[in-house]
A and B are shown apart, each in its own frame.
Chain A
Amino acid sequence: MPQVIAGDGSRIWMLRDRKAQFTRWAAWLVGTIIFLWCWQRISEATEWFFVWDAPRIAADIGNRAMPPRWSYMDKLWAPLWDTLNIATLGTFFALIMAVPVAFLAARNTTPSALFIRPIALLIIVSTRSINSLIWALLLVAIIGPGIFAGMVAIAIRSVGFCAKLLYEAIEEIDAKQVEAIIATGASRWQVMAYGIVPQIMPAFAGIAVFRWDINIRESTVLGLVGAGGIGLQLKGSLDTLAWPQVTLILIVIFATVILSEWVSAKVRGAVI
């Protein structure tokens, strides 16, 4: 709010009046204190000797890690394929689960805003707020290590994300088209198939590819907790301090992520 205040007779333009300025100053002070307190806690929990030593360690690791062991690539194709499968099948099953949840959660399609919608929203929030690595940890403990656990983890984690974006898309549809279909005497399912689905189809395709891209990134690390894919090789190499292999794996992961991002950008450009 621009304010004009009087200072020694003349009027000077100021962005804020004194009260607003003081409030802001106080807010900044509190914020700074909180930050400094946080920093102090982190600092207390840190061995500063290691930190001062860090450049040397980093240089040392860098030396060991170079050059990457290219011959190890032969052993990476299979895990890479597994990683791709975890991400793709995980996304596929997530979408199957997300569609009904989204329809139950959207205000304009939910059968009951009082009972079913909160349940759908709870599913969305709880699956979304827990990282896929935690889901993988949990599923490895329950159904044993392997690709299957990774795939289920990715699927569960993605349900909330996809359903949230999808239900927002459903809520934003044009009601006139739906009404037109209803006016022809269509049943509930026909309204869905001809009035709602065509409108959200581009959003759906976009969400699917977007999530697939994210899932490729996430599935590269699921192996760290035993859920298959290239992360398993990464963990093995890290545990045996085989730094040249780690470098190669990181390069491969980097390339995969860039490639998936490129594919996802292309497909989204085509459908939207």
Chain B
Amino acid sequence: MSATLETRIGQPWKKPPFIKRPWLRWTLIIGGLLYFVVAMASMEVNWARVWQGLERGGQFVLAFTNPDFTSRATDIREGLIESAIMTVAATVVGIALSIPIALGAARNIAPLPVYLVCRGIVALSRALNEIIVAILLVAIFGFGPLAGFLTLAFASIGFLAKLLAEDIEDLDRSQAEAVKATGGSWLQWINYGVQPQVMPRLIGLSMYRLDINFRESAVLGLVGAGGIGATLNTAFDRYEFDTAAAILIIIIAVVMALEYLSGIIRARVQ
């Protein structure tokens, strides 16, 4: 954009490129293309197998038009209840644990050593995939919903504490200072100066996490950590696509309902 108006008049207009430095642009384009070719070449696809599978895929898609809710009704119901229980308990415990950690991970509240420890916990929780945590916890605590509950609670900490800490760091200092100026103790300062400012965000995030935890609880069953995932896995293994379709429809419906609900709640508190 350094060219003046005089030099530009009479020149045909050209769309400015998204990446301004030409060498970077061309390196990215050529590198990207090269990578694409190499990556596609290194991927072995058994097209005959895929072709055979398409028929089964068609069956599966058709199963969605005719889902079977009844023949495995008890399994589905028990799996769903277990998923819901794990979700609720893990979200509650996750919120309870993430609030102190979020306070510790906010630089404007916590001293540096506390800050580093809390940020470390958050980073660890975020870097470890739920499934990997679940595998380890199943190995330690045995099969069942306890391992799933602990996994989800641990994963919730990373998510909630990080986003809440960022919100606390952004808070309006003057409000918090006003509480301090009245001679409030540290606890009163948190309770009246900080908490009201971050509460809408905390409620919104908690609802969102509830939604995520339910979705995640659907896969934890694959590694033996309880919930609807185990039922789903069995249905796939037996090629009972109509039952699997029914479970997937239920999961989608619950997630949609939760999303709708959290939308209403978030709109009300904000």
A-to-B contact residues, CB < 8 Å: 31, 34-35, 38-39, 41-43, 45-47, 50-51, 54, 57-58, 61, 81-82, 85, 88-89, 92, 125-126, 128-131, 133-134, 137-138, 141-144, 146-148, 151, 194, 198, 201, 205, 217-218, 220-221, 224-225, 234, 238, 250, 253-254, 257-258, 261
Can you list 12 A-B pairs, Cβ within 8 angstroms, ordered by A? A41-B82, A45-B82, A45-B146, A129-B252, A129-B256, A142-B57, A143-B54, A144-B46, A146-B45, A148-B50, A198-B15, A198-B18
Task: For the complex, give the distance between the alpha carbons of A85 and B36 in Å.
Answer: 9
B-to-A contact residues, CB < 8 Å: 15, 18, 35-36, 39-40, 42-46, 49-50, 53-54, 56-57, 60, 81-82, 85-86, 88-89, 92, 127-129, 131-132, 135, 139-142, 144-146, 149, 215-216, 218-219, 222-223, 226, 229, 232-233, 236, 239, 244, 248, 251-252, 255-256, 259
Query: Is there an interface contact between A148 and B222, defined as CB atoms closer than 8 Å?
Result: no
Query: Is there an interface contact between B45 and A134, defined as CB atoms closer than 8 Å?
Result: no
Number of inter-chain CB pairs below 8 Å: 151
Query: Is there an interface contact between B56 and A142, defined as CB atoms closer than 8 Å?
Result: yes
Q: Which residue of B lies closest to A257 (CB)?
A: B127
B74 CB, min distance to chain A CBs, angstroms: 16
| Given A89-B39, A137-B233, residue A45 in contact with residue B226 (CB < 8 A) | yes
> Which one, A81, A82, A143, contacts B53 given CB within 8 A?
A143
Chain B residues with CB under 8 Å of A85's CB are 39, 42-43
Query: Is there an interface contact between B251 and A129, defined as CB atoms closer than 8 Å?
Result: yes
Query: Is there an interface contact between A34 and B88, defined as CB atoms closer than 8 Å?
Result: yes
Chain B residues with CB under 8 Å of A147's CB are 43-45
B137 CB, min distance to chain A CBs, angstroms: 9
Task: For the complex, give the distance between the alpha carbons of A257 and B158 in Å.
Answer: 15
Query: Is there an interface contact between A141 and B56, defined as CB atoms closer than 8 Å?
Result: yes
Task: For the complex, give the distance between the alpha carbons of A47 and B53 in Å.
Answer: 41
Chain B residues with CB under 8 Å of A45's CB are 82, 144-146, 226
Q: Which residue of B lies closest to A256 (CB)?
A: B127
Q: Which residue of A lies closest to B142 (CB)?
A: A50
Query: Is there an interface contact between A146 and B46, defined as CB atoms closer than 8 Å?
Result: yes
A99 CB, min distance to chain B CBs, angstroms: 15
Q: Which residue of A lies closest to B85 (CB)?
A: A38
Q: Which of B60, B85, B140 has its CB near the most chain A CB atoms (within 10 A)?
A: B140
Chain B residues with CB under 8 Å of A258's CB are 127
Chain B residues with CB under 8 Å of A224's CB are 131, 135, 222-223
> Which one, B57, B146, B218, contacts A131 given CB within 8 A?
B218
> Which one, B35, B46, B229, contacts A88 given CB within 8 A?
B35
Task: For the complex, give the distance between the alpha carbons of A207 and B140 in Å.
Answer: 37
Chain B residues with CB under 8 Å of A38's CB are 85-86, 88-89
Query: Is there an interface contact between B129 and A220, defined as CB atoms closer than 8 Å?
Result: yes
Q: Which of B88, B89, B259 has its CB near the most chain A CB atoms (within 10 A)?
A: B89
Chain B residues with CB under 8 Å of A88's CB are 35, 39
Supplied contacts A137-B232, A253-B132, 16 more A-B pairs, CB within 8 Å:
A31-B92, A35-B89, A42-B86, A46-B142, A54-B140, A57-B140, A134-B218, A137-B236, A146-B44, A147-B43, A147-B44, A148-B44, A148-B46, A224-B135, A224-B222, A238-B135
> Which one, B42, B45, B149, B251, contacts A81 given CB within 8 A?
B42
| Given A45-B82, A61-B139, A147-B44, residue A221 in contact with residue B131 (CB < 8 A) | yes
> Which one, B127, B131, B140, B255, contacts A133 given CB within 8 A?
B131
Query: Is there an interface contact between A144 and B139, defined as CB atoms closer than 8 Å?
Result: no
Chain B residues with CB under 8 Å of A146's CB are 44-46
A133 CB, min distance to chain B CBs, angstroms: 5
| Given A61-B140, A250-B132, residue A134 in contact with residue B56 (CB < 8 A) | no
Query: Is there an interface contact between A254 and B127, defined as CB atoms closer than 8 Å?
Result: yes
Chain A residues with CB under 8 Å of B18's CB are 198, 201, 205
Query: Is there an interface contact between B15 and A144, defined as CB atoms closer than 8 Å?
Result: no
Q: Which residue of B lies closest to A62 (CB)?
A: B140
Chain B residues with CB under 8 Å of A42's CB are 85-86, 89, 144-146, 149
B36 CB, min distance to chain A CBs, angstroms: 7
